[in-house]
Structure 1
Amino acid sequence: MKIKKPIRISLPKQTSIEIEKAIKNGLFKIGEKIPSEPDLVKEFGVSRNTIREAIQSLIQAGVLESRQGNGTYVIAISKFEANILNRLNNSKTSEVHEVRICLEKEIVKLAAQRRSDDDLENIKNALNQRNLTKSSFIENSEADLEFHLAIAKASHNSIFYDLYKSLSQYICTSVAQRLKSTNMEEKMIYQLHIELFEAISSQNIEKSEEIIIKILEI
């Protein structure tokens, strides 16, 4: 077997990794403009050229977006998420929905098995917020997503959580479109989400799976 020699990572590469970590940790948030070049130079202690190369690499990866005359914005949490979003945008809606069904079924089953008291409190808070939101379709879908993300976190499987979070932008748009087109009464949708919370709370795995399927069929 031929052994490859270790490769030293360049300074721009190291800087891009650190910027990506800052995004993942919530220091730079989705939809927000990142600090100016001089501020980043001061923060990371590197040259302006290094910052420019690092930012350019993240723009090419789909994590950042440069807007002419308006700075650079965060559009994805990571390169992984950027790749997922690119794949989703080039996929059939029906295929994405099938993937979401499989993912959410496993997530609710694990959440029902593993949820802690703190998890239940977080899910309940997200549920209350979801059911109190009576604004636009987009705002409704964002509140709905937070509820499902709380359940994903309760699965205590970080990969499932990251996958679901990576799908979140696409799911949010999908939910908004379905809320616009559905004829089902909000009262029925409201009740299904309450029943899902109760099933997870009582650790009823079969019931949890049954209800999430009903929700996704709306």
Structure 2
Amino acid sequence: MTVKYDSEDAAPETMVDKAMRSILDHIHRQGLMAGDLLPSEAHFIEVLEVSRTVVREAFKSLAAMRVLEMSAGRRTRVAVFDDTAITLTLSHALRTEQLNPQQLLDARRAIELRIVELAAVRRSEAEARELLDLADRMRLARDEVEEMTESDIAFHIAMAQATRNPLFPVLVSALTATMRDTNAIVWRYRTSETAREEVMALHAAIAEAIAARDPGAARSALEKHFDVASRGLLLAGFN
């Protein structure tokens, strides 16, 4: 096999890389959408003139990237866009100390300040009620950190869904997933009822501002929430 370099610093393109690119080209040329079936592995073996192993590895790599959806006994489909790949990447970066919790929180802050404004303008009545309900659930579970964290994550994802922009829930879901690791530690340093209640009150204020269709008040409450969250991370030793 001839190895091709695009530049002196570029990695060589393998046969699997080429097969992946060809499969993606097929999806785009044919106008396939999420859920649509792909031709069989045998089709790509014949068209690309490569081995079954190459095509199978290409399929597996694209499935790991959530471009394809594969399951035993079923034809391969175009995958639905979700947070799986981004979450895995961020979790890996956090656990290998290539990113830290404060950096992830900074990214969330930048994204969610726009999200909360859009949510206040675009939310439905059902979404407004859901946010208020999730804020109540957080308050009820404030002494059960795992349950509280799941409601907290659901709150921020629900806020993102209310924007009507499908990218925002994916990004927020990926960025908030790390809270399952950090909240348990941070919450141990919020020992007073006042400190814990502050977090609950800010989520309630965000939900109420969104329900009132007040983007300015929603943004202000979210900014205060992130200030409190950042202080909590620092108190717990995350910097």
Taking only aligned residues, the RMSD between alpha carbons, in angstroms, comes to: 3.4
Cα 1:88/1:192, change in 2 over 3 Å: same
Cα 1:134/1:205, change in 2 over 3 Å: closer
Matches within 5 A, 1:39-188: 41=72, 43-44=73-74, 78-89=84-95, 90-182=98-190, 183=192, 184-188=194-198
Letter in 1 for 2:180: C
Q: Is the 8 A contact 1:108 1:205 kept in 2?
A: yes
Cα deviations by residue, 1:118-157 (Å, 9 ceiling, x for unpaired): 2112222322322222443232222211112111111222
- The number of residue pairs the alignment matches comes to 171
Letter in 2 for 1:190: M
Letter in 2 for 1:195: A
Matches within 5 A, 1:5-16: 7-8=22-23, 10-11=55-56, 13-14=58-59
Structure 2: gaps of 5 or more residues: 1-17, 24-43, 45-54, 77-81, 229-239
Letter in 2 for 1:81: T
Q: Is the 8 A contact 1:85 1:170 kept in 2?
A: yes
Structure 1: gaps of 5 or more residues: 25-39, 47-75
Cα 1:23/1:153, change in 2 over 3 Å: farther
Q: Is the 8 A contact 1:114 1:154 kept in 2?
A: yes
Aligned-partner Cα distance in 2 for 1:213–1:172: 21
Letter in 2 for 1:84: L
TM-score, structure 2 length as denominator?
A: 0.59
Q: CA deviation at 1:170?
A: 0.9
Aligned-partner Cα distance in 2 for 1:143–1:178: 16
Q: CA deviation at 1:163?
A: 0.6
Aligned-partner Cα distance in 2 for 1:97–1:23: 30
TM-score, structure 1 length as denominator?
A: 0.64
Cα 1:17/1:126, change in 2 over 3 Å: farther
Aligned-partner Cα distance in 2 for 1:23–1:140: 34
Q: Which moves more between the two structures, 79-88 or 198-207?
A: 79-88
2:13 corresponds in structure 1 to none
Q: Is the 8 A contact 2:205 2:221 kept in 1?
A: yes
1:197 corresponds in structure 2 to 207
Q: CA deviation at 1:202?
A: 1.1
The structure that has the greater radius of gyration is: 2
Q: Is the 8 A contact 2:113 2:222 kept in 1?
A: yes
Aligned-partner Cα distance in 2 for 1:106–1:215: 14
Aligned-partner Cα distance in 2 for 1:180–1:23: 41
